[in-house]
A and B are shown apart, each in its own frame.
Chain A
Amino acid sequence: MSLECGVFHTRYESDMGLRRWPAERIRLAVFAVFVLVFPFVAGPYWLDLANQVAIATVGAIGLNILVGYTGQISLGQGAFMAIGAYSAGLLTLNLGLPWGVSIALACVFTSVAGTFFGLPSLRLKGLYLAIATLAAQEIVEWAMTHWTAVTGGTEAIVLPAPSLFGVRLNTTFNFYWFGVAMAAGTALFAANLFRTRMGRAFVAVRDQDIAASVIGVNLFRTKLLAFATSSFFVGLAGAMIAYYRTIITWERFTLDTSIVYLAMIIVGGLGSIRGSFFGAALITLLPALITNAGRALQETAPMVAGLLPYAQQAVFGIVIILFLIFEPKGLSKLWGNVKDYFHVWPFAYRRG
């Protein structure tokens, strides 16, 4: 808990607020203004990227609740997103439910499925749990492609375009608001979650599960709740993809997806909400930036540009390795460093 010079909290409410310092509120306001203005100045391409970032943020926060905060490794992200996407789509197609209801039910359904696949976590830790969740991924992938009666097999499922009060939701501009609202809601929920008893229990389980159980944390309940909460948001991310693209294909939810999301939270910062956002943004934008760099080089240095597609494969790995070596706490910590640096800038004196 850092202190800010000249700010004195005189009430418990202000002392316990999420944003306790004026600088934090100003930064939040600046970011909010940016988010509000962005869609009016950005073209459809950047808006599309922004929407992908919003969806990835929801998914990454969901995964971070499980991996970063509770310390339960999961390779089943793709599977849980698939469950969210498929159930959101199939509920509307088969039962005729409105898209909003379908998305809500899909989240609950994913939450239940996540809890089920989280059962091994009661006995398994670390690598063993990773393999157990990998099994979940494979089972769901197999079900998606082979359970033809329900999922339509490898064929894509086409959804009706979602609309809200007669406005079509899945255009890049309209979806942006939905995506931002969902991402902001998820972030707000998660930030508050870790100020509650249950959230603290998650963290206690991560830090030392035996010690946690000694001080009265019910490991069984806590671990399963972590899986349920995490899967809820992961399912939401999946359902958002389904209604943004209005087409569901299993190829979007493979093991690759699980690994990309793990990369997001590692690069962004394990156990950090803002880190989830940073990671989601970086991992989503990185391929686009490399693509643009490649195209800029296509005319000036065709030889280098020719190698870029292959470099792109390596960049993911390199980025993760570099972060693990130089900044294991991820972009979130880097941002913290920037803030610290400017804390009393331009005066060199620093506390601590």
Chain B
Amino acid sequence: MTRRQNAGPIRLLAAALLLASAACGGDGGGDGAADADIKVGAIFDLTGPTADVGTDYADGMRGYADWMNLRGGIEGRPIDLIYQDYAYQVARAEQLYSQFVNEGVVVFMGWGTGDTEALRLRITEDEIPFSSASLSHVLGDPADSPYNFLVASSYTDQFRIALDWIARNHGEGTPVVALMHNASPFGLSPSRHGGVEFAAALGIDLTLYEMPRGAVDYTAEFSRIRQSGARYVVFQNTSGPAAVALQNARSLGVDATFICLNWCSNAQLVQLAGEAAEGVVGTIPYAPLSVDVPGTRVIREYLEAKGESIEGRTNAYTQAWWTFSIFAEAMKQVLASDQELTGANIKAALETFTDLDMGGVTVPITFTPTDHRGAKGLRIFRVEGGEWVPLTEFVQAPAAP
């Protein structure tokens, strides 16, 4: 081999090293700047399996930070939202979390159930208040997870509300319910953390059906559901798979009432499932932008001022926006009382919240040192003419039997 041939890979290596050192250098330089900024870390799923709702959630978070900064930030300190896509991978989430904490974030906005679970112990050690879009019931128990805060009714509570609604509207006989769930901790959360017991207490015949990841056909599941005589199908999944299942069910002629929990009851479901979404019932903790309350008006005004359309924005946007607002409120209280902005102080401030007004998008939020399930109620919606329309006023989750 001559020297000329050899030089190519070496130049490549040199270039790679240069790039790497430039990246490290740039990272180090940013640390000292703008110490007045309030750093908030976030991970979003923009490219992974839950990107269908994750993208809108990310936009909502960024929208709120931007809106708050336009109004002068929190007590005059601008929010620096540090975020990255993590593609729903636990290892990536851990990497980003440790990076962001290293850069001095004081609160962290998480996403999936798996990564929230994986980070639970570390946030406690680092004293970083953590909001996840995962509403797993167990995360709301401060004895196990002192720094996790649930800002919407937990999956279990949502499932209980749905079951309660079924029991009350069913009439004669034993209601047979099928729970179709994502094949993950997220999917199993509602049944495993109290849902099964609750169904038994109400005299409901409940069977679980797993929806394999990436499936495009649920005929086998629906034929079993039909055999079981189920008249109600509850989905615990994101809108993409739920829409596929709805279309499946429609073409198979399954005669049942479909109920979507949190992550599939949104505008995207209607868009994807079209006609098949008509009449679907949803437990929606955070109102979609089409519902006119002060809490959605402020978002619509912001989007209009930005020249963006609300078209295609789902309730994930509202949920992200108002989730952020709860933590912003806590940080504001900490700063207003001249305390240092630390995770522990923010946690203490959050735990004083009693009936915090949420602009009508969800029930008022209450946290106590022994209960981090901030909201226990929600409105039930139904798809009518391609729109999610409120079916009930706010209903509280029935107590565990």
Taking Cβ atoms with an 8 Å cutoff, the residues of A that contact B are 43-45, 48-49, 52, 145, 153-156, 158, 172, 245-247, 249, 251-252, 256, 285, 287-289, 291-296, 309-310, 312-313, 326-327, 333-335, 337-338, 340-341, 348, 350, 352
Contact = CB atoms under 8 A, between A and B. Distances in A.
Contact of A341 (B6, B84, B188): B6
A254 B91 CA distance: 11
Nearest to A51: B98
Given A247-B118, A313-B87, A327 B27 contact: no
A291 B90 contact: no
A173 B103 CA distance: 17
16 contacts: A48-B95, A52-B95, A153-B188, A154-B183, A154-B187, A156-B117, A156-B118, A156-B185, A246-B121, A249-B90, A249-B185, A292-B27, A296-B27, A334-B9, A341-B10, A350-B3
Given A249-B114, A249-B118, A288-B99, A155 B89 contact: no
Given A249-B118, A256-B89, A337-B9, A154 B20 contact: no
A179 B169 CA distance: 59
Contacts of B120: 156, 247
Nearest to B14: A338
B224 interface: no
Given A247-B117, A350-B3, A313 B90 contact: no
A190 B187 CA distance: 42
A252 B6 contact: no
A189 B351 CA distance: 53
Interface in B56-100: 82, 84-85, 87, 89-92, 94-96, 98-99
A293 B12 CA distance: 18
Contacts of A289: 19-20, 23
A309 B9 contact: no
B298 interface: no
Given A247-B120, A309-B46, A337 B102 contact: no
A344 B163 CA distance: 78
Interface residues of B, number: 43
A99 to B, nearest CB: 16
Contacts of B23: 289, 292-293, 296
A296 B118 contact: no
Contacts of A341: 3, 6-7, 10
B99 A154 contact: no
A249 B117 contact: yes
Contacts of A256: 89
B191 to A, nearest CB: 11
A313 B3 contact: no
Contacts of B96: 291
A343 to B, nearest CB: 11
A108 to B, nearest CB: 26
Given A245-B118, A291-B84, A293-B23, 10 more contacts: A156-B185, A172-B98, A287-B92, A292-B24, A294-B84, A312-B47, A334-B10, A335-B13, A341-B10, A348-B3
A310 B55 CA distance: 12
B99 A334 contact: no
B26 interface: yes
B85 A245 contact: no
Contact of B184 (A154, A292, A350): A154
A155 B185 contact: yes
A199 to B, nearest CB: 28
Given A309-B85, A340-B6, A145 B183 contact: yes
A309 B121 contact: no
Given A292-B23, A309-B87, A310-B47, A44 B3 contact: no
Contacts of B90: 249, 251-252
Nearest to A326: B9
Given A247-B117, A288-B99, A348-B3, A309 B188 contact: no
A82 B114 CA distance: 15
Given A245-B118, A249-B90, A293-B23, A309 B6 contact: no
A288 B6 contact: no
A312 B46 CA distance: 11
A78 to B, nearest CB: 11
A333 B101 CA distance: 37
A38 to B, nearest CB: 13
Contacts of A291: 84, 96, 99
Given A292-B26, A309-B47, A158 B114 contact: no
